[in-house]
Amino acid sequence: MRRHVSKIGAAFCVFAGLAAGPAFATEGGASLYVPGLRGPLSGLVPPPGFYFQNDFYSYSGSLPGSRRLQLGGAVLSDVKVEARIDFVTPTWVTPLEILGGNLGFAVTLPFGVPRISAGALVAAPRLGRVFAFSQRDATFNIGDPIVTSFIGWHSGNFHWTTGVAVNIPAGAYQEGQLSNVALNRWIGDLYGAVTYLNTTTGLEISAAGGFEINGTNNATDYNSGNAIHADLSISQYLSKDFSIGVQVGHYQQVSGDSGSGASLGPFKGRTTAIGGTIGYNFEVGGVPISTRLKVLREVGVENRPRGTIGLFTVAFPLGGQAAPAAPRPTIVKH
């Protein structure tokens, strides 16, 4: 699952490298990225300071009965997935500048319950089984930590950032189980994003793209293929605190899976998701709080389940600092 990393809010924007939940491609499909992960304001980095962000991720999807999926060393068919995962992310935007941009760091820790069910377990040599019916697994566990470093720049209505997120295989991975938040492999994600925000009209356009480099899960001898991903969002602020918009995300493997554990061969997964988003900002005790809801439906899916993605994010500055000076639309009507 994941992330990982995202930005949110009009009053301020917190960057985080998020782990993704079970967005199927690679081994079981879990990766640092889910479609729509980087949406509105994805190119905007807040001013120096400490921030906190919490993302609640929900996924519901299925794979038709005749198609097969490999997960946890097992080959499954008639797969259904229900995941409820939380991502906690503290972020530090330092006062240091590199080439005129602010340097920042974030650490994300995911935890939750992926619910995996299969009409048939076709083969699971590591579990000592060849064929079985009605396999189910739902276990609360802690995922791999994700460390992110990024640099952000600003120029008028334009804001852009670039960075790298690394998934560290140090979570509570359960060998031989279907339900895992931890991916149990090294993953690197190189990305960039740009945001155009017109503070007079309230129009905001953001685009992001990246390249994901996957390592090997030593517990299953499964080497996941590399992938590219991209997001585009267009939002309109109806007031300085409320926005609504549409967004689309795309994920596609560019190299096939490999290794002795890849029983289904070097197949490649891809998906496109389309949906909408709303954002609302408010204050509690003088502290600015940003919230955003995203809902996307996967279409054009290949070699993975098709489902619905939901993300609800809450972000705010820490340490009693003043509200950041990120631009807020004034919404001048002509």
Cβ pair 11, 326 in contact under 8 A: yes
> pLDDT category, 36, cuts 50, 70, 90?
confident
Rounded to whole angstroms, how far apart are CA atoms 318 and 186? 30
Rounded to whole angstroms, how far apart are CA atoms 280 and 284? 13
HSE (side-chain half, CA atoms, 13 Å) at 327: 23
How confident is the model at residue 123, as a pLDDT? 54
Q: Does 4 fall in a domain?
A: no
Rounded to whole angstroms, how far apart are CA atoms 93 and 50? 6
How confident is the model at residue 28, as a pLDDT? 59
Rounded to whole angstroms, how far apart are CA atoms 76 and 289? 43
Task: Report the sign of the C-alpha dihedral through residues 129, 131, 133, 137, in that order.
Answer: positive
User: Pick the residue with more confidence: 81 or 324?
Assistant: 81
User: Which CATH number do you get for residue 102?
Assistant: 2.40.160.40
Domains in the chain: how many in total?
A: 1
Q: Does 324 fall in a domain?
A: no
HSE (side-chain half, CA atoms, 13 Å) at 325: 3
128-145: pLDDT as tens digits: 444 455 566 778 889 999
Residue 3 has pLDDT above 50, yes or no: no
| Domain carrying residue 196 | 49-317
For the record, the structure tokens of 44 come out as 């905007």
How confident is the model at residue 175, as a pLDDT? 81
Residue 328 has pLDDT above 60, yes or no: no
Give the length of the chain. Answer: 334
Provide the phi-psi class of 141: left if phi over 0, else alpha when psi is between -120 and 50, else beta.
beta
Q: Does 330 fall in a domain?
A: no
157-167: average pLDDT: 97
Q: Does 326 fall in a domain?
A: no
The residue whose two tokens read 């229900």 is: 82
Q: Does 69 fall in a domain?
A: yes
> pLDDT category, 25, cuts 50, 70, 90?
very low
Q: Does 300 fall in a domain?
A: yes
> pLDDT category, 11, cuts 50, 70, 90?
very low
For the record, the structure tokens of 175 come out as 């060998």
Residue 20 has pLDDT above 90, yes or no: no
Rounded to whole angstroms, how far apart are CA atoms 91 and 150? 11
User: Pick the residue with more confidence: 64 or 163?
Assistant: 163
> 49-82 in b/e burial notation, b at 16+ Cβ within 10 A?
bebbbebebbbebebeeeebbbbbbbbbbbbbbb
For the record, the structure tokens of 93 come out as 């935007």
> pLDDT category, 15, cuts 50, 70, 90?
very low
Q: Residue 257: phi, psi to the nearest 5?
A: -70, 155
DSSP 8-state assignment for residue 253:
E
Rounded to whole angstroms, how far apart are CA atoms 118 and 62? 10
> pLDDT category, 149, cuts 50, 70, 90?
very high
Name the least confident of 36-40, 51-55, 134-138, 189-193: 134-138
> pLDDT category, 67, cuts 50, 70, 90?
low
Residue 239 has pLDDT above 70, yes or no: yes
Closest by Cα among 333, 8, 326, 40 to 201: 333
Rounded to whole angstroms, how far apart are CA atoms 120 and 124? 11
Rounded to whole angstroms, how far apart are CA atoms 220 and 214? 14
> pLDDT category, 71, cuts 50, 70, 90?
low
> pLDDT category, 334, cuts 50, 70, 90?
very low
Q: Does 19 fall in a domain?
A: no
Distance of CA 102 to the CA centre of its chain: 23
Q: Does 220 fall in a domain?
A: yes
pTM equals 0.82
Rounded to whole angstroms, how far apart are CA atoms 179 and 173? 9
> pLDDT category, 61, cuts 50, 70, 90?
confident
Average pLDDT, the chain: 81
For the record, the structure tokens of 101 come out as 């941009």
How many CB atoms lie under 10 A from the CB of residue 162?
A: 17
259 Cβ contact list (under 8 Å, min separation 6):
216, 221, 222, 223
How confident is the model at residue 111, as a pLDDT? 95
DSSP 8-state assignment for residue 115:
E
Percentage of the chain modeled with pLDDT above 70: 74
Radius of gyration of the chain (CA): 20
